[in-house]
Structure 1
Amino acid sequence: MNENSEIQKVLHKFILNQCSPSETDAVIAYYRENKLTTAFPTVEDIQALVTQTPQMDAATANILFSKILKDGKEMENTASTSPKIPYRKHLAIAASIAILLGVGWMYQTRLKDQNNKAIIASSDQITLQLANGDVQIISGNTSKVTDSEGNVVANHNGNKITYDTQTALEKLVYNTIKIPYGKRFELQLSDGTRVHLNSGTTLRYPVRFIAGENRQVFLDGEAFFDVTKDKKHPFIVNADNLNVRVLGTHFNVSSYPEDPSTDVVLVEGSVGLYQKNEVFDAAKNTVLKPGFKGSFTKIGGVIDTKAVVTSVYTSWMEGRLTFRNMSFKDISKKLERHYNVTITNHNNKLDNEKFYASFDDVPIEKVLSYFNEIHGLNYTFKNDQILIK
């Protein structure tokens, strides 16, 4: 077996514990033939073969190898009776399998803890969860996105995933993408709808929309939607307890769990706002016009609307930060998401002060310098931790 894209794919499946028995045999055979003729495989060997493998720290590697060496001594008598695979190769095969399974276990344990926000916030990897719970890392410049059966359903190129419009599916199958703090990403769904995802955002969406069904997605965070028009299939964004219904338009939805309201800003077209347990009725429910923002309070379920400058709410797509009459407490939340930092503020008076400011795509030091100049902000910044005194 050559070291090509096929073995790369099998090795990646192996560390995720997704290999069939025959694929597992192929991995073992590969190491017998290519890696185990003279010495033990190292952690670096395996990481070189699987570019998407998370880093294993030295202490963990040493523990694994110590255990393998100890177990290997107990294998010596048995291994010495084997004419085909000498003791040294038995031990090396055990080492390679233990390393792969060890990395895979830590990898899956970290990724499948879906409810631990701290883990998501501290990670710098975009993850894609398939319908069966398997998780793929979205990294590198180009790659194929596969389903749980290994079929290609989308293409990943740089900072964007484009889903195949020809995927043959007869029922709804969902993927869930998670964008960590400090990153942004773009999706093109199977109907051509483009979705810009802000940092700290999770979106659950169908791999392919089904004829006769609404085009519904589920948002936790912030996204800008450029929806492909389809009068027969309304596009619905579910954001917590609010549904946003459109036929084809441009709009921004912000619904972070820690925010008191879900905000919908309409750039073009029209959108209907209604609670998720309701059936949409244009005569009764709130319908936004372009240039308006609808705010749905999470406690009370009240929808208020007002005219706004839409660019204030969409500038994040270009990496810009725009604050208009915003409290420092809310600004801090946006800075944490945008820069993947933690801000601890001991200046209680500062929390409720309102600011007007705009920043291009600049380092956070520039933003902190601005607040220092206009407010004399007393702070320390170390290891992504900002302490305001």
Structure 2
Amino acid sequence: MVPEKIKNIIVKYLGNQAFSSEIEELEKWLEKDDNEKYFTEYVKVNFIIDLNFKKFNTLNSETKLLNLISREKKMQRLRRVKLFYRYVAVIVVFFSLAYFYTKKETINTAQQNITLKMDNGNIRVVEEQENANIKDKDGNVLGSQKGNVIEYNPKNKIEKLVYNTLTVPYGKRFVVKLSDGTKVNLNAGTSLRYPVKFLKGKKRQVFIENGEAFFNVTKDKKHPFIVSNKNLNIKVLGTKFNVSSYPEDKNIATVLVEGSVSLYVSNDIYEPKKATLLKPGYKADFSKKKASISIEKADVEVCTAWIDGRIILKHMKFNDIIKKLERHYNVKIINNNKFLGEEFITATFDIETIEQVFEAINELHPIKFKINKNQIIIN
């Protein structure tokens, strides 16, 4: 059979997102006689696909493509590569047509992957177990990836502001270490835009477009660090703090763990007298509607538990924790039980599956629920 890893490499290659090491692995795999025999038996060698879009199977296209390539395994490497390119356009068309007609019935796989958008607009899929260099369009090494961490090199030759955007889907978390040493933990459903290298004499500014992130900022008095989105700016020198700004939230929540931060409206020029100063152990809620800031004592453990993969619920209404569960487990929850929605829940989850989470909730508040793949319906 075709290993799942090989299937993933083919899909990434078609999207121009495969690493060179992955392409070499694909080529080596195609050189084995058993693989040619398998594909000869498994599919007929052709590109005639029954475009019954509701039943279209992209995996079928992948295997047919592999069959065509494997037939040429005894040819020179150059010819095999040319053959691969010859059929890429055909397969991409089939993929596009299939998605167009089935988008209402399936989940877009791009939403299931961590992605890195380069400055030139190219998007590469980030595999969590990958070890590879991060390069720009000219082949310059900007940094490296080791597992679930991408770290940028402060000594790269970039002398202008060049941005990358890291996007983490529901159900996953990731870490990026910026060129100044600042460490940023990204929660599920988060997108962060940042320079691949901070430049001397310029402010260190990053943009959290949506989602939640924990910043451990490297201190540099000459270069203030600013976290921005379209509503709010957070200015720091060196500190640890958490920012949560999901689209569905009414407020942007900033929780300070260590150091100090100043908050001010994005469109305003920073003025210390007009900015709101936040102290450690406190939370600032910025109202998106009123553009006003309120401050209260924070439960730091609850607000930052996600970094360690935990969910801590302390006397929260079920309706208020639905999005937390959806993001953490990459599921869709449909609650038809109005009574449950108003019930308060106190619990802690870490290694539990979503099934175990609902079993625990069921013990506290007897409910009827059905789990179908990534959808949960509560009646």
Shared fold (TM-score, shorter chain, > 0.5): yes
Q: Structure 2, unaligned stretches of length 5 or more?
A: 1-9, 41-56, 69-74
Q: 1:144 — aligned with what?
A: 133
Q: What is the alpha-carbon distance in structure 2 between the residues aligned to residue 18 and residue 318 of structure 1? A: 30
Per-residue CA deviation, residues 336-356 of structure 1 (Å, 9 max, x unaligned), is: 000011101111232233322
Letter paired with 1:223:
A
Pick the structure with greater CA Rg.
Answer: 1
Residue identity opposite 1:176 in structure 2 = T
1:100 aligns with 2:101: no
Q: Percent identity?
A: 43
Deviation at 1:299, TM superposition (A): 0.8
3-state DSSP class of the match of 2:170? coil
Q: 1:164 is matched with which residue: 153, 174, 180?
A: 153
User: Which of 367, 383, 388 is equivalent to 2:357?
Assistant: 367
2:114 corresponding residue in structure 1: 126
Of 193, 197, 211, 1:204 maps to 193
> 1:213 corresponds to which residue?
202
Whether contact under 8 Å (1:342, 1:386) holds in the other structure is yes
Equivalences for residues 247-262 of structure 1 within 5 A: 247-262=237-252
Q: Structure 1 runs of 4+ off > 4 angstroms? A: 11-14, 16-19, 39-43, 61-66, 92-95, 102-111, 118-122
Displacement of 1:232 in angstroms is: 0.9
Per-residue deviation, residues 304-323 of structure 1 (Å, max 9, x unmatched): 00011211100111111012
Contact 2:175/2:184 (CA < 8 Å) preserved in 1? yes
Q: Which residue of 2 aligns with 1:358?
A: 348
Post-superposition Cα deviations, 1:52-103, rounded to whole Å, max 9, x if no partner, equal: xxxx83443588799x9xxxxxxxxxxxxxxxx9xxx99x877522443456
Identify the residue that residue 194 of structure 1 maps to in structure 2. Answer: 183
Instruction: Give the conservation status (yes or no) of the 8 Å contact 1:41–1:96.
Output: no
Q: Equivalent residue for 1:296?
A: 286
Question: What pairs up with 1:23-38 in 2 under 5 angstroms?
Answer: none
Matched with 1:178 is 167
| Structure 1 residues 180 and 65: alpha-carbon distance in aligned structure 2, compared to 1, 3 A threshold | closer
The letter of the residue matching 1:57 is T
2:117 partner amino acid: Q
Per the normalisation by structure 1, the TM-score is 0.75
**How many residues are matched?**
334
Q: Could you tell me how far 1:193 is from its partner in structure 2?
A: 0.1
Q: 1:277 aligns with which of 267, 271, 274?
A: 267
Match of 2:58 in 1: 57
Amino acid at match of 1:189: L
1:265/1:313 contact within 8 Å kept = yes
Change (3 A) 1:109 1:170: farther
RMSD value, Cα: 3.8
* Contact 2:285–2:294 under 8 Å retained in 1: yes
